[in-house]
């Protein structure tokens, strides 16, 4: 039995993982999905990581999963607690010393989004939740929170990527981050070929069963199934 530590993305909350949590628990695993203190303007990386570590308590055999903006926090937690696995789900892979506010330009993400025509999609129901059932999407929108301005301006504190087996999952139908952009970034920054899952940016809500299958497969060294 593993404990899946689920770290939400920007402006989100632990609620975003509730369907995936149910799937993982049905498979015999534990889950932890805390709210980051992102609605506190002075909260920084240390506060984000402390919130997750505090929620984990004495649990071990940790699989740390960071979604989107949560990829800045997930490696900090995985490094501190010597996690068995680190998984970035459509994650903003940071570089040492890089500020989240600068990431969009330094990685070329803004240019990639513009070239793919994604920067013109302003409706969040189309960019984030296009494949999420409408009721769930509306609930997610209702639960949106502010993001700390402090954490966006802080240099990412690790001097190198943690010595933890790392996976990256591309969402094949992502309308916020171009899938091809993430394929290249995973190769450039992590030296890995990412796994892929069908669905948009918020697959924890739209394809929780398929995502759970993929995550649990990592525990057993199973090859990923191709997204549909």
In a domain, 228, yes or no: no
Burial-class residue 66 by CB neighbours within 10 Å (0-12, 13-18, 19+).
Answer: buried
Task: Identify whether 96 is part of a domain.
Answer: yes
Q: Let me know if residue 69 belongs to a domain.
A: yes
Tell me, yes or no, whether 224 lies in a domain. Answer: no
As a residue count, the chain comes to 228
**196 inside domain:** yes
Which structural domain range is residue 119 located in? Answer: 3-219
Instruction: Tell me what pLDDT residue 216 has.
Output: 97
Domain count, the chain: 1
- The verdict on residue 225 lying in a domain is no
Domain membership flag for residue 59: yes
pLDDT tens digit string along 119-167? 999 999 999 999 999 999 999 999 999 899 999 999 999 999 999 999 9
What pLDDT is recorded for position 220? 85
Q: Which residues of 78-87 are buried (b: 16+ CB within 10 A; e: fewer)?
A: bbebebbbbb
Domain contains 226? no
Q: What is the CATH number of the domain that holds 67?
A: 3.40.50.1820
Per residue in 58-109, pLDDT tens?
999 999 999 999 999 999 999 999 999 999 999 999 999 999 999 999 999 9
């Amino acid at each position: 039995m593993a404990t899946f530590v689920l770290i939400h993305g920007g402006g989100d909350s632990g609620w975003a993982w509730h369907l995936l949590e149910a799937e993982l628990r049905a498979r015999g695993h534990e889950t932890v999905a805390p709210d980051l203190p992102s609605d506190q303007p002075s909260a920084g990386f240390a506060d984000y990581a402390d919130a997750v570590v505090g929620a984990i308590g004495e649990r071990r055999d940790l699989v740390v999963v960071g979604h989107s903006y949560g990829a800045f926090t997930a490696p900090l937690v995985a490094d501190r607690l010597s996690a068995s696995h680190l998984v970035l789900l459509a994650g903003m892979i940071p570089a040492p010393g890089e500020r989240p506010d600068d990431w969009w330009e330094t990685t070329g993400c803004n240019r990639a989004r513009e070239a793919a025509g994604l920067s013109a999609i302003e409706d969040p129901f189309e960019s984030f939740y296009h494949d999420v059932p409408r009721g769930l999407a509306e609930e997610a929108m209702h639960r949106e929170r502010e993001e700390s301005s402090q954490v966006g301006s802080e240099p990412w504190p690790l001097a190198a990527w943690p010595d933890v087996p790392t996976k990256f999952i591309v969402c094949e139908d992502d309308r916020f981050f171009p899938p091809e952009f993430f394929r290249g970034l995973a190769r450039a920054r992590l030296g890995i070929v990412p796994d892929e899952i069908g669905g948009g940016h918020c697959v924890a809500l739209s394809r929780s069963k398929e995502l759970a299958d993929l995550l649990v497969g990592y525990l057993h060294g199973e090859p990923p199934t191709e997204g549909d």
